[in-house]
Amino acid sequence: MSTPTQARTSARRSAVQALYQWQLTGADLSEIERQFIEEHGLGNADVAYFNELLHQIPQKLDEIDAALAQFVDRSIASIDPVERAILRIGAYELLFHPELPYRVVLNEGINLAKGFGAAQSHKYVNGILDKIAHAKRTVEIQAGRAKG
């Protein structure tokens, strides 16, 4: 039995793969969703959250990529597609899910990069998401420092 946290982690893992496929092929999101559910199965994943990530990230892509563009060292298009998918998930969560603690978002991004990305990509992902968190979650970060 998986916990809600584990189900969200599984949803993110599947979303990285699905978004990667979307970025490379430009295939219809509903078709990618169907394929993932039928062919790959989502196991213990939070299916609703997987669907949200798969559909909302492309829908809010301009806003997400604008947040990323402030802190990346190259064009969004030239970022490795796996890292790009992970960064977009993390940026989406930082921008549109304020109920998720920023440290959770960063940790999930780091773990996704360790699992799917190149050898040192987790450091790059962490650096970019941390900068977005500091820009977009200032109150939360300052509150955490005051407690600490």
Q: Dump pLDDT digits (tens) for 1-14.
A: 468 889 999 999 99
Domain count, the chain: 2
- Give the model's confidence band at 148: pLDDT under 50 very low, under 70 low, under 90 confident, else very high: low
Asked if residue 129 lies in contact with residue 98, where contact means CB atoms within 8 angstroms, the answer is no
Cα(4)–Cα(10) distance, integer angstroms: 10
Q: Do residues 94 and 145 both lie within one domain?
A: yes
Domain identity same for 80 and 45: no
16 or 139: whose pLDDT is higher?
A: 16
* Residues 11 and 47 placed together within one structural domain of the fold: yes
CB < 8 Å & 24+ apart, contacts of 34-42: 40/14, 42/10, 42/11, 42/14
| Whether residue 128 sits in one domain with residue 112 | yes
Average pLDDT along the chain: 93
Give 58-113 pLDDT, tens digit per residue.
Answer: 999 999 999 999 999 999 999 999 999 999 999 999 999 999 999 999 999 999 99
